[in-house]
Amino acid sequence: MRIVQRLVYVVCAMFFGASAHANSELSFLNLPEGFNIKVWARVPGARSLAATPDGKTIYVSTRGDTVYRIQDKNNDGVADDVRPFLTGLKVANGIALDATGSLYIAEQHRIFKLSTNGEKSIILPAGILPDRRHHGWRYIGISPAGDLFVSVGAPCNICEVSGVEGTLLKIDLSSLDHTIFAAGVRNSVGFDWHPVTKELFFTDNGGDNLGDDIPPDELNRAQRKGLHFGYPFWYDNQKAYPQFRNKGSVKNPVPPVIKFQAHVAALGMDFYTGSQFPDVYKNDAFVAQHGSWNRTEPVGYRVMRVQYDKTGQPLSKSVFIDGWLATDGQVFGRPVDIEELPDGSLLISDDHADVIYRVTYSAPN
């Protein structure tokens, strides 16, 4: 498998030509001037990323049964210790670390915590989350206030939801009480809090099988608890899903703040707070677009930048890295999640190429 994968990279480099912005292995990728990308680690099915505060240990989830632990012990910018950390899990996509270093794992049916001393405790027991494979890969994160958030996708394409389906849940880690923070969310697989305003922004994937160009994938802002984002009645700005035309019972759903192309599969996102990149990137968001699976002409397979103003208002979107999708439709990678390291570099997971990339910046001479 690794030999075949290496050959794919070599063929891509020959096809696209050399690039000053990526090392020879990844010369088919396009980045802005001064940015460089290289393979940091090889991890089967790499999905969500969680870095310890010192950046010395990275946990990587999968949609299988394993969470991996990665370390760069000699600090040379390439991981030298990749090993399974937990196995026997059920769709182990959601992971997060708190300030103490405790690891939270969201399985399809429950959420548990693993303390630094190895003690395991249940945060959300089985019976609350819909235990279904469709959109059953959870995404979790810890808010600036210390609460755990988890996305609960609708267990279908377009259908009525009930209970906690189609929501973002907020879990108080002191009492373990859970409440619905945002509703009408079809399937979010990425969110983060703006560094200045502390407002929650999240990606959401639109419904399938309605055509190549609708509905758009979304970036949404949840400024407070209790907002509804339209699903399954509405998408975009009060455009009705045909299955629920004239049935919408939600008044004035919150429209997206940024619309992405339909079916790009916008997943993980990360606000940039580091100092390695140029100042113009400060507090902007990077969004991984995993790529379409049922569109006539594939789209996505890239990392986008969403530019914000100083008040935390999103202004525009632009491509940050692309090239994983070739002009002939061949796919060489599918970005999933993004995590910033303490030195200001970015890690990007890819569950198609089974790797984690590291993006760095050096000012051009």
Instruction: Give residue 30's pLDDT.
Output: 97
Q: Return the number of other C-beta atoms located less than 10 Å from residue 138's C-beta.
A: 28
Residue 307 — very low, low, confident or very high, per pLDDT cuts 50/70/90? very high
Measured over the CA atoms of residue 270, residue 273, residue 275 and residue 277, the dihedral's sign is positive
Percent of the chain with pLDDT over 90: 86
- Residue range 157-180: mean pLDDT, rounded: 97
Decide if pLDDT at 298 tops 90. yes
pLDDT band for position 17 (50/70/90)? very low
Say yes or no to pLDDT of 248 above 90.
no
Confidence at residue 23, expressed as pLDDT on a 0 to 100 scale: 63
Say if CB 69 and CB 85 are below 8 A apart.
yes
Look-up of token digits 């290496």: 6
Whether the pLDDT of residue 16 is over 50: the answer is no
pLDDT at 214: 96
At 77 the pLDDT is: 76
212-234 residues labelled b (16+ CB within 10 A) or e (exposed): eeebbbbbbbbeeeebbbbbbbb
Report whether pLDDT(13) > 60: no
pLDDT at 237: 87
Q: Which of the two residues, 111 and 53, has the higher pLDDT score?
A: 111
The pair of three-digit structure tokens given for residue 10, joined into one six-digit string: 């070599």
In 3D space, the residue among 40, 85, 42 whose CA is nearest the CA of residue 65 turns out to be: 85
- How would residue 73 be classed by pLDDT, with cut points 50, 70 and 90? confident
Among candidates 322, 342, 353, which has minimal Cα distance to 275? 342
5: which DSSP letter? H
Over residues 291-299, the mean pLDDT reads 95
Q: How are beta strands 266-271 and 258-260 bridged, if at all?
A: unpaired
* pLDDT confidence tier of residue 249, bands split at 50, 70 and 90: confident
Average pLDDT over residues 227-243: 94
Provide the pLDDT confidence category of residue 275 given band limits of 50, 70 and 90. very high
Mean pLDDT of 5-26: 46
Q: How far apart are the first and last CA of the chain?
A: 39
3 phi and psi, to 5 degrees? -65, -45
Domain edges within the chain: 2-361
Average pLDDT over residues 246-274: 94
Give the three-class secondary structure for 281. Answer: helix
* Confidence category of residue 75, pLDDT binned at 50, 70, 90: confident
Res. 21: pLDDT tops 60:
no
In 204-254, where does DSSP find H-type helix?
none
Out of 149-163, 216-230, 243-257, 323-337, pick the least confident: 243-257
Q: pLDDT at position 24, please? A: 60
Q: Whole-angstrom Cα distance, residue 312 to residue 7?
A: 43
Q: Which residue has the higher pLDDT, 22 or 122?
A: 122
CATH number for domain 2-361, candidates 3.30.465.10, 2.120.10.30, 1.20.1050.10, 2.60.40.4070: 2.120.10.30
- Neighbouring-strand partners of residue 285: 271, 306
The residue written with tokens 């525009």 in the block is: 316
**pLDDT tier for residue 76 given thresholds of 50, 70 and 90:** confident
- Provide the pLDDT for residue 58: 97
Residue 365 confidence (pLDDT): 80
Model confidence pLDDT, tens digit, residues 36-56:
999 999 999 999 999 999 899
Task: Write down the pLDDT at residue 22.
Answer: 59
Which of 182, 307, 207 minimizes the C-alpha distance to 257? 307
Stretch among 5-9, 169-173, 318-322 having the lowest mean pLDDT: 5-9
DSSP assignment, residue 146?
S
In Å, the largest CA–CA distance within the chain is 61
Name the pLDDT band for 178 (thresholds 50, 70, 90): very high
User: Does the pLDDT of residue 349 top 60, yes or no?
Assistant: yes
